[in-house]
């Protein structure tokens, strides 16, 4: 019966957008969001996402501490469940992990592959394992608006590949220093 229920669940949800799937699983999700992951953890109803948030593929939300399974006394095993809260105007990069009890404030960028073990204040860019503050949201916003190509400069009559080729920055990043 479990196999049949699992199959029916997949059939029911396969055409849902990420946001629809998240809401179906119990997440609270605001407006104008993009959710490209289905790794919502075992308690997705403990995850709250505000407005204008992008969650890239492979991001994982962890809302409980599984290591408590190791500890037991006469009162039994211990449990720890904690909420995750994501503010507005947030981008969470590919394959990042958001740990239990984390609150990400507004205007935050999380670099790809980051492990978020502590709450993140408003207006910063974080990255790494464990994540650290590596930049300012406002500084990056200024750079993007002044240096990057805008939609008004892109020829949308071309197919995606041609558009991308025509608007690709051909420079490379600086080398790491010894």
Average pLDDT over residues 124-137: 98
Q: How much is the pTM?
A: 0.90
- Residue 1's pLDDT is 65
Average pLDDT of 114-126?
Answer: 98
pLDDT of residue 2: 82
Contacts of 12 (CB under 8 A, 6+ apart): none
For the chain, what percent of residues have pLDDT higher than 70? 99
pLDDT > 90? residue 124: yes
What average pLDDT does the segment 77-85 reach?
95
């Amino acid at each position: 019966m479990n196999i049949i229920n699992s199959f029916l669940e997949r059939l029911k949800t396969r055409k849902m957008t990420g946001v629809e799937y998240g809401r179906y699983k119990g997440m609270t999700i605001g407006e104008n969001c993009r959710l490209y992951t289905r790794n919502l953890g075992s308690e997705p109803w403990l995850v709250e996402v505000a407005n204008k948030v992008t969650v890239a593929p492979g991001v994982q939300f962890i809302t409980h501490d599984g290591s408590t399974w190791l500890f037991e006394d006469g009162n039994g095993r211990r449990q720890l469940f904690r909420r995750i809260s994501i503010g507005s105007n947030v981008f969470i990069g590919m394959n990042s992990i958001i740990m239990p009890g984390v609150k990400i404030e507004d205007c935050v960028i999380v670099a790809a592959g980051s492990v978020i073990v502590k709450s993140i204040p408003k207006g910063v860019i974080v990255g790494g394992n464990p994540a650290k503050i590596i930049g300012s949201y406002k500084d990056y916003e200024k750079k993007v608006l002044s240096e990057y190509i805008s939609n008004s400069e892109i020829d949308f009559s071309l197919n995606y590949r041609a558009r991308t080729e025509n608007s690709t920055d051909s420079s490379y990043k600086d080398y790491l220093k010894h």
